[in-house]
């Protein structure tokens, strides 16, 4: 009976946290990357060989896997968990809101920024403690600040994973310490990172080499980013290191050159710094970014049984793809007719993108006007 009562109280706590969050984020439109697609259009091995149990090179904009080793294998991910922690806090939280460090954040094992009970931090400050110094205590404090409890925050993490279409990711905590039911895959961790990079504030934080926090309500903290490639690799953005005995050395990096942003992920890799530089070098040399559709580009779509014989259609936004430098890209508009009546905004056609003769993407086109039936 007591166990059942405890379960009910836990569920009520999560529901209450969700209602509180709604008050903070009302009216905001979250920025998110596209849904992860389990079967990527391209996953060539290329000329890269890593020491990792799993590795992936990923196109951040198009969501395409460019290179993979055991990319779909569920594994523990240590503190790279904090990529999702920060992303959920940025989407659902209030960065300037100030909160008091709770008792639960004290004496958390592993890496720490040594928070003291009663200290007061903004959520943004806690995000910097989380991403630069990988503070496990900051992860718990941030979870309480955003959702009211660690349990409610982890529920948000798993809900976001489901919204992104991730099938082999589950979170048991916001910091990444080993726990049953805490895992992801290299491919899905790359997709989480692409989502995080689309949120205001994330890239700014992970690309910061060092920071000093001197806000009111807490002792000063000097933070140093643990990502050594920030100081040595051209175009590097960040993102996050991680280590536990069970997970091994885990690393996620992102780099941008020109219009191309690449994400590299390794799980359980004793030679991760070298392997990430090699994967990114491979990506920037072997691939190019191609704009396959420009926002505003229009096409005439035949309409069957309408007062007009055609309707103008266009896509919602520009679409760019990462493709091998020696690939041949073809664009073919569908010649199928739309059936009247057609309302403005109806999906009426598709633009098909072929890479070396293989269909790799279909871009929906929507009617710019209406056509009544005859």
In this predicted structure, the answer to whether residue 85 has a pLDDT above a threshold of 80 is: yes
Query: How many whole angstroms separate alpha carbon 178 and alpha carbon 244?
Result: 7
Are 350 and 259 found together in one domain?
A: no
Are 138 and 173 found together in one domain?
A: yes
* Identified catalytic residue from 82, 160, 240, 361: 82
Residue with tokens 């710019």: 368
Cβ neighbours of residue 345 closer than 8 Å, sequence gap 6 or more: 366, 367
Strand, helix or coil at 79? helix
3-class secondary structure per residue, 133-166: CCCHHHHHHHHHHHHCCHHHHHHHHHHHHHHCCC
In this predicted structure, the answer to whether residue 15 has a pLDDT above a threshold of 80 is: no
Structure confidence by residue, pLDDT tens digits, 203-253: 999 999 999 999 888 999 999 999 999 999 999 999 999 999 999 999 999
* Identified catalytic residue from 79, 99, 149, 198: 79
Residue 243 is predicted with a pLDDT of 97
* CATH code, domain with 209: 3.40.710.10
Are 123 and 228 found together in one domain?
A: yes
Structure confidence by residue, pLDDT tens digits, 264-306: 999 999 999 999 999 999 999 999 999 999 998 999 999 999 9
Are 271 and 311 found together in one domain?
A: no
Query: How many whole angstroms separate alpha carbon 206 and alpha carbon 49?
Result: 26
**Using an 8 Å Cβ cutoff, are 21 and 146 in contact?**
yes
Name the token pair of 36. Answer: 């992860």
Are 155 and 196 found together in one domain?
A: yes
**Using an 8 Å Cβ cutoff, are 108 and 89 in contact?**
no
308 a catalytic residue:
no
134 a catalytic residue:
yes
Domain boundary among 237, 271, 289: 289
40 a catalytic residue:
no
* CATH code, domain with 358: 2.60.410.10
CA angle 131, 63, 184 (to 5 degrees): 55
* Identified catalytic residue from 40, 99, 111, 134: 134
């Amino acid at each position: 009976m007591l166990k059942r009562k405890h379960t009910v109280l836990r569920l009520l706590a999560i529901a209450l946290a969700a209602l509180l969050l709604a008050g903070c984020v009302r009216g905001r439109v979250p920025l998110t990357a596209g849904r992860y697609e389990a079967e990527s259009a391209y996953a060539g091995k290329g000329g890269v060989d890593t020491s990792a149990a799993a590795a992936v090179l990923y196109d951040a904009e198009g969501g395409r896997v460019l290179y993979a080793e055991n990319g779909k294998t569920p594994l523990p991910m240590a503190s790279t968990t904090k990529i999702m922690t920060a992303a959920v806090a940025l989407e659902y939280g209030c960065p300037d809101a100030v909160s008091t460090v709770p008792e639960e954040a004290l004496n958390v094992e592993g890496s720490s920024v040594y928070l003291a009970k009663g200290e007061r931090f903004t959520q943004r400050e806690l995000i910097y403690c989380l991403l630069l110094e990988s503070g496990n205590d900051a992860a718990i404090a941030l979870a309480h600040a955003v959702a009211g409890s660690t349990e409610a925050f982890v529920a948000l993490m798993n809900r976001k994973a489901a919204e992104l279409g991730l099938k082999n990711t589950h979170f048991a905590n916001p910091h990444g310490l080993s726990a049953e039911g805490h895992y992801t895959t290299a491919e899905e961790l790359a997709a989480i990172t692409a989502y995080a990079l689309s949120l205001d504030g994330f890239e700014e934080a992970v690309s910061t080499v060092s920071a000093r926090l001197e806000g009111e309500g807490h002792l000063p903290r000097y933070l140093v980013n643990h990502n050594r490639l920030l100081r040595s690799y051209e175009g590097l953005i960040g993102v996050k290191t991680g280590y536990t005995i069970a997970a091994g050395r885990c690393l996620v990096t992102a780099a941008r050159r020109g219009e191309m942003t690449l994400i590299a992920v390794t799980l359980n890799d004793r030679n991760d710094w070298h392997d990430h530089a090699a994967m990114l070098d491979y990506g920037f040399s072997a691939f190019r970014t191609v704009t396959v559709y420009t926002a505003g580009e229009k096409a005439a779509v035949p309409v069957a049984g309408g007062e007009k014989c055609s309707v103008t259609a266009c896509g919602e936004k520009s679409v760019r793809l990462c493709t091998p430098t020696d690939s041949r890209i073809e664009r073919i508009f569908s010649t199928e007719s739309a059936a009247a009546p057609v309302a403005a905004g109806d999906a009426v056609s598709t633009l098909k993108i072929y890479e070396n003769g293989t269909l790799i993407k279909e871009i929906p086109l929507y009617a710019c006007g209406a056509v009544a039936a005859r």
